[in-house]
């Protein structure tokens, strides 16, 4: 599905609104599983973070992901996020 208007989402780290495709999406699927959604197509409640180590750190240390989803975030999700962001940062 193509959209002409760029969807904007808010980063959990710095709070800035950015085009969705510039952010990493973390999703809590209907069954409660939390995962990093690199395709942007998974169902569930999404939270977004800039591709920035700084933003990830802020979101993580402030428990903002946990709060956004009202559940614990598995370590492997953190590991994927860190990897994804480090590969794209700088
Ligand atoms: Zn940010």
Residues 70-79 have pLDDT tens digits of 999 999 999 9
51 vs 2: CA distance, rounded Å: 23
Q: How far is the CA of 66 from the centre of ligand 1 (A)?
A: 17
- Tell how far the Cα of 29 is from the centroid of ligand 1, in angstroms: 23
Domain ranges for the chain, please list them. 8-88
1 confidence band (pLDDT: 50, 70, 90) = low
Give the mean model confidence (pLDDT) for residues 56-84. 94
Q: Residue 54 pLDDT more than 80?
A: yes
C-alpha span between 12 and 30 (Å, rounded): 21
- Residue 23 CA to ligand 1 center (angstroms) comes to 8
Residue 42 phi/psi, 5-degree rounding, is -70, 150
Distance (angstroms) between ligand 1 centre and the Cα of 17 equals 8
Q: What is the pTM of this model?
A: 0.88
| Dihedral Cα 44, 1, 22, 82, nearest 10 deg | 40
C-alpha of residue 50 to centroid of ligand 1, in Å: 4
Could you tell me which CATH number the domain at 8-88 has?
3.30.1230.10
pLDDT band of residue 5 (cuts 50, 70, 90) is confident
């Amino acid at each position: 599905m193509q959209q002409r208007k760029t969807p904007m989402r808010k980063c959990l780290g710095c709070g800035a609104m950015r085009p969705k495709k510039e952010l990493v999406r973390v999703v809590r699927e209907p069954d409660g599983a939390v995962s990093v959604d690199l395709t942007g197509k998974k169902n569930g409640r999404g939270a977004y973070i800039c591709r920035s180590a700084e933003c990830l750190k802020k979101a993580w240390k402030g428990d903002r992901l946990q709060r956004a989803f009202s559940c614990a975030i598995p370590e492997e999700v953190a590991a994927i996020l860190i990897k994804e962001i480090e590969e794209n940062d700088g």
